[in-house]
């Protein structure tokens, strides 16, 4: 039976983060993950996780100056100090709440200098994370939702992972992002399976619940199970209304 993680960046977003963890537990999720938890004391998050017994699969590094359009720092030449401070902060927060991974956000940048900057910052992050048993994730974002984002394809991510060659650096495979730009999601999952560290999903193309759209998640989830994946899959969709009213898919697709 497929297991699911609630991404609390989108699901149960009307609650505080500790209460969102509790709501995910009540709804039957097997794990949780989040985007940017830093405004919530880590002790409060850790307490909610302990109370519910849910694992926190991961969190993101800060985006930077959101008002200025920043959506990550790690690939921005000249911003290495800021990027590494964000990496250190994320690793420390993850350690304090017992999270399993950190997603290092690249940011809006292009070209070989950006790639070299990203690779250097990821190498730094891998060394820091390894001391705490943490996985580092990188995630390609589709060009429609994140124009100009440095990491935009799974092949680009795979090349970086191969170049950096750190055992705790993995691909975050988001079926929604891949489905928007790369075509056959199951074929890409199969090809990239050895380097995948986490899988997320949402309907294509509207990023809603996975019970509609052009991507048949009954087939996708069956393929993931056939590959041998056993960890919870991350529900990172934008609910239409209350999250609790959008969860029929958890039974229908499990």
In tens, the pLDDT along 45-103 reads 999 999 999 999 999 999 999 999 999 999 999 999 999 999 999 999 999 999 999 99
Q: pLDDT band for 1, please (50, 70, 90 cuts).
A: confident
Q: Which of 51, 80, 139, 182 is catalytic?
A: 139
Q: Which of 78, 84, 138 is nearest to 109 (CA)?
A: 78
The model's pLDDT over 157-188, given as tens digits with 9 standing for 90+, comes to 999 999 999 999 999 999 999 999 998 999 99
* Alpha helix ranges (H) inside the chain: 17-27, 42-52, 80-97, 112-130, 154-164, 175-181, 185-192, 217-227, 249-252
pLDDT digits over 2-42, tens only?
999 999 999 999 999 999 999 999 999 999 999 999 999 99
Cβ neighbours of 1 (radius 10 Å): 5
| From 14, 89, 182, 236, active-site residue | 236
- Per-residue tokens: 13: 């977003």
Helix-helix angle 80-97:112-130, to 10 degrees:
30
User: Can you give the three-state secondary structure of 180-227, one letter per residue?
Assistant: HHCCCHHHHHHHHHHHEEEEEECCCCCCCCCCCCCCCHHHHHHHHHHH
What pLDDT, on a 0 to 100 scale, did the predictor assign at position 183? 86
Is position 139 annotated as part of the catalytic site?
A: yes
Q: Please answer whether residues 234 and 201 qualify as being in contact, where contact means their C-beta atoms are separated by less than 8 angstroms.
A: yes
pLDDT band at residue 254 using 50, 70 and 90 as cut-offs:
confident
**Cα-flanking dihedrals φ and ψ of residue 33, to 5°?**
-150, 165
pLDDT tens digit sequence for 99-155? 999 999 999 999 999 999 999 999 999 999 999 999 999 999 999 999 999 999 999
Fold of 4-252: TIM Barrel (3.20.20)
244 is known as an active-site residue: no
């Amino acid at each position: 039976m497929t297991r699911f993680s609630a991404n609390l960046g989108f699901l149960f977003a009307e609650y505080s983060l500790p209460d969102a963890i509790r709501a995910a537990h009540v709804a039957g999720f097997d794990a949780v993950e989040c985007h940017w938890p830093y405004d919530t004391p880590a002790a409060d998050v850790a307490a909610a996780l302990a109370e519910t017994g849910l694992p926190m699969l991961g969190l993101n590094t800060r985006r930077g100056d959101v008002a200025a359009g920043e959506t990550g720092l790690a690939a921005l030449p000249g911003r290495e100090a800021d990027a590494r401070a964000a990496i250190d902060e994320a690793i420390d927060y993850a350690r304090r709440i017992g999270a399993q991974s950190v997603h290092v956000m690249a940011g809006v940048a292009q070209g070989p200098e950006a790639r070299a900057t990203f690779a250097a910052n990821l190498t730094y992050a891998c060394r820091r994370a390894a001391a705490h048993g943490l996985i580092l994730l990188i995630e390609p974002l589709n060009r429609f939702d994140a124009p100009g984002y440095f990491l935009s394809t799974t092949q680009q991510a795979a090349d970086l992972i191969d170049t950096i060659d750190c055992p705790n650096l993995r691909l975050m495979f988001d079926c929604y992002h891949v489905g928007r730009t790369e075509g056959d999601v199951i074929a890409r999952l199969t090809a990239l399976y050895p380097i995948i560290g986490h899988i997320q999903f949402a309907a294509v193309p509207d990023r809603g619940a996975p019970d509609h759209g052009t991507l048949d998640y009954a087939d996708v989830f069956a393929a993931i199970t056939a590959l041998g994946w056993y960890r919870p899959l991350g529900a990172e969709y934008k609910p239409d209304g209350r999250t609790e009213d959008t969860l029929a898919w958890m039974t229908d697709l499990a």
